[in-house]
Chain A
Amino acid sequence: MADRANNIFELREVSYCYPNDEWALKNINISITRGAKVALLGENGAGKSTLMLLLNGILKPTNGSIQFENELICHRRKALRKLHQKVGFLFPNSDDQLIAPTVYEEISFGLMNLYKDENLTRKKTEEIISHFDLKQIQHKSPHQLSSGQKKMVCLAAILAMEPEVIICDEPASHLDYKSEQLLFVHLDRLNKMGKTIIISTHNIDQAYEWTDETILLHQSQLKAHGKTTEVLSNSKLLKEVNIPSPTIISLLNELNIDIPTNNPPKTKKDLAQLIYLNR
Chain B
Amino acid sequence: MFIEQIYNHNHRLHQQHLLARGAYILPAFILTLCSHSIAFNSLIVTIYILLIRYISNISGKHLVRLFSIPLTFISLGCITIAMHVTFPLKVQFIPANTELAILIFTKSFALIAVLFMALMIYTISEIAAVFRLIKVPSLFIELFVLMYRFNMKLLSNTKQLYLAQKCRLGYTSNKQAYRHIGLLFASVFQSAIKANKTTEIAMTARLGNHQYHFVSPHRTFCWKACTYPLFLASLLLMFYLILNF
Among A10-18, A29-37, A93-101, A234-242, the stretch in contact with B:
A93-101
Task: Pick the residue among A96, A104, A143 that contacts B7 (CB under 8 A).
Answer: A143
A138 on the B face (CB < 8 A): yes
Closest to B4 in A: A143
Asked, given contacts A84-B207, A104-B217, A108-B214, whether A99 binds B156 with beta carbons under 8 Å apart, the answer is no
Among A95, A101, A113, find the residue whose CB has the most chain B CB atoms closer than 10 A. A101
Q: CA A88 – CA B123 in complex, angstroms?
A: 27
**Contact status A101-B215, CB under 8 Å:** no
Q: Is the CB of B218 within 8 A of A122?
A: yes
Contacts A140-B10, A141-B9 given; indicate if A102 touches B204 (C-beta within 8 A): no
Is the CB–CB distance between A97 and B216 below 8 Å? no
Measured CB to CB, the nearest residue on chain B to A80 is B204
A112 to chain B, nearest CB (A): 5
Tell me if A109 and B8 are in contact (CB < 8 A).
no
Find chain A residues with CB under 8 A from B205 CB: 56, 58, 84, 88-89
What's the nearest-Cβ distance from chain A to residue B7, in Å? 6
Chain B residues within an 8 Å CB radius of A112: 213-215
Q: Verify if B201 is at the interface (C-beta below 8 Å from A).
A: yes
Size of A's binding interface in residues, CB under 8 A? 41
Nearest CB to that of A120 among chain B residues? B215
Residues on B with C-beta less than 8 A from A105 are 123, 125, 214-216
Size bracket, chain B contacts: 20 to 34
- Residue in A81, A138, A139 whose CB lies within 8 Å of B207: A81
Contact B15 A139 (CB under 8 A): yes
B216 to chain A: closest residue by CB: A105
Cβ-defined contact, B10 with A109, below 8 A: no
Interface residues of B in 127-178 (CB under 8 A from A): 149, 152-153, 156
Encode A54-84 as 1/0 by CB contact (under 8 A) with B: 0010100000000000000000000011001
Q: Which residues of the partner chain B approach A125 to less than 8 Å between Cβ atoms?
A: 215, 217
Chain B CB within 10 A, most for which of A88, A139, A140: A139
Contact assessment for A84 and B9 in the assembled complex, using a CB-CB cutoff below 8 Å: no
Given A91-B198, A95-B156, verify A118-B215 contact (CB < 8 Å).
Answer: yes
Choose among B199, B202, B215 the residue that contacts A108 (Cβ–Cβ < 8 A). Answer: B215
Most buried by B among A95, A97, A99, A111: A99
Contact status B201-A58, CB under 8 Å: yes
Q: How far is the CB of B192 from chain A (nearest CB, A)?
A: 11
Q: Is the CB of A101 within 8 A of B9?
A: yes
What residues of B have a CB within 8 angstroms of the CB of A109 in the complex? 203, 206, 208, 212-214
A29 CB → nearest B CB, Å? 25
> Nearest A residue to B203 by beta-carbon distance?
A99
Q: How far is the CA of A96 from the CA of B206 in the complex (A)?
A: 13
Is A44 in contact with chain B by the CB < 8 A criterion? no
Beta-carbon contact of B216 and A102 below 8 Å: yes
Q: Type the 1/0 row for A134-173, where 1 means its CB is closer than 8 Å to any CB of B.
A: 0000111101100000000000011001000000000000
Q: Which residues of A contact B (CB under 8 A)?
A: 56, 58, 80-81, 84-85, 88-89, 91, 93, 95-97, 99-102, 104-106, 108-114, 118, 121-122, 125-126, 138-141, 143-144, 157-158, 161
**What 4 new A-B contacts, CB under 8 Å, besides A95-B153, A101-B124, A105-B215?**
A95-B156, A122-B215, A125-B215, A158-B206
Q: Give me the interface of B with A, judged by CB distance under 8 Å.
A: 7-10, 14-15, 123-125, 149, 152-153, 156, 195, 198-199, 201-209, 211-218
List 8 A–B pairs whose Cβ atoms lie within 8 Å, in order of A's numbering.
A81-B207, A84-B205, A100-B214, A106-B214, A110-B206, A112-B214, A113-B213, A126-B217
